[in-house]
Amino acid sequence: MSVRTEKVAEEIKHQIAGVLSRDLAEPDLGLVTVTRVVISADLKLAKIYLSFLGNRQSVTDCIEKINFRKGNIKMHLGSKLRLKYIPEIYFYHDDTSEYADKIERIIKTFRKANDEEDSQ
């Protein structure tokens, strides 16, 4: 990733985080965090990864609600970014924290089983 694409990705992350927390905030979505933005080398495609905390709806429904407002988000980006093209944006759920929790539970279970074996 070049320095330019990294800077653009960071700015997109910052702008979308602001839009989601101020302009498009909904109680059903809970706290929405932009965890990562991956942008193509030609700056025409951006994958935005989101995590949700305290959401009242399923993650799929939350992503659908945000995708429904993609036009508004893209318009906001167009007014804030100085780019020839505003990238096409796609939203995804970032399940990294859930995956890490799952691995941690597996390791704890494994350690507990080993401790029980060693004590016998």
CB atoms within 10 A of CB 72: 12
This prediction has a pTM of: 0.77
pLDDT greater than 90 at residue 119: no
pLDDT band at 120 (very low <50, low <70, confident <90, very high): low
CB 78 within 8 A of CB 86: yes
From CA 10, how far away is CA 98, in angstroms rounded?
Answer: 24
The pLDDT tens digits for 24-82 are 777 777 888 899 999 999 999 999 999 888 888 888 898 999 999 999 999 999 999 88
The pLDDT tens digits for 89-109 are 999 998 777 777 778 888 888
Identify the structural domains of the chain with CATH numbers, from first to last. 3-95 (3.30.300.20)
Residue-level pLDDT at 113: 79
CA dist 69 → 16, 89, 115 (Å):
12, 11, 51
